[in-house]
A and B are shown apart, each in its own frame.
Chain A
Amino acid sequence: TQLLEQSPQFLSIQEGENLTVYCNSSSVFSSLQWYRQEPGEGPVLLVTVVTGGEVKKLKRLTFQFGDARKDSSLHITAAQPGDTGLYLCAGALDSNYQLIWGAGTKLIIKP
């Protein structure tokens, strides 16, 4: 069974603080995606990382794919209330079209 463990499950911090969300697995992924979901909506893709060690930046969000392509992190600098939401990671395997989903990190940024 392929698992993608996401941590923390819940995080509530003050505006302006930094935070990191992690996704870890024993499986090697061909790519890994990060999604953000707001209440009442479906997940929306933020980024896809493909190469081991790859770092992508999206404004204050920095995404990193582990060298071995088994793990990934999302770092948010100077969090804003607009960053509030459920963050989901999803890994793709070469051998299967299904994405392996993490359980999500519920992030609340307090003004």
Chain B
Amino acid sequence: GAGVSQSPSNKVTEKGKDVELRCDPISGHTALYWYRQSLGQGLEFLIYFQGNSAPDKSGLPSDRFSAERTGGSVSTLTIQRTQQEDSAVYLCASSFEISGAGYTQYFGPGTRLTVL
């Protein structure tokens, strides 16, 4: 079956522009995560969606970052007024329910964002 897909795969933008990153999770997965990964480093949690519950936005680094999940499926991460330090790979993952009990997180290939 289809895995998690993300688009675009690469995005180059100029400082100060807004960008939108898209994630299509695996059908039926109720939980969706966004992470940020700097080159060759670990994952930085950004935001978590679970069903119809209010999202956990505790990992968003500033108010320039926002995300939504429409109809419990597709999610969009928006970064306003991009800065050079926003350059990173943005990864989306989905899973059944929650991962605390060992549910596998399935990751998309990521969007590599470069802010010039």
Assembly CA distance A103 to B102 (angstroms)? 20
Q: How many angstroms from the CA of A106 to the CA of B42 in the assembled complex? A: 10
Residues of the B chain whose Cβ atoms lie less than 8 Å from the Cβ of A31: 100-102
How distant is the Cα of A80 from the Cα of B43 in the complex, in angstroms?
Answer: 26
Mask, B100-116, CB within 8 Å of A = 1, is 11101111111000000
Mostly helix, strand, loop or mixed at chain B's interface?
A: loop
CB-based contact A101/B50 at 8 Å: no
B16 to chain A, nearest CB (A): 28
Of chain A, the residue at the smallest CB distance from B112 is A40
Taken together as a complex, chains A and B put the C-alpha atoms of A88 and B108 apart, in Å, by 16
Q: Are A103 and B31 in contact (CB under 8 A)?
A: no
Let me know if A45 is at the binding interface, CB within 8 A: yes
Bin the interface of chain A by size.
20 to 34
Are the CB atoms of B102 and A43 closer together than 8 Å? no
Stretch in B65-73, B77-85, B91-99 touching the partner: B91-99
Could you list which residues of chain A lie within 8 angstroms of chain B, going by C-beta atoms? 6, 30-31, 33, 40-45, 48, 50, 86, 88, 90, 92-94, 96-99, 101-104, 106
B interface residue numbers (CB < 8 A to A)? 4, 31, 40-45, 48, 50, 56, 91, 93, 98-102, 104-110
Would you give 7 A-B contacts (Cβ < 8 Å), ordered by A? Answer: A31-B101, A41-B107, A43-B107, A88-B43, A90-B43, A97-B56, A103-B42
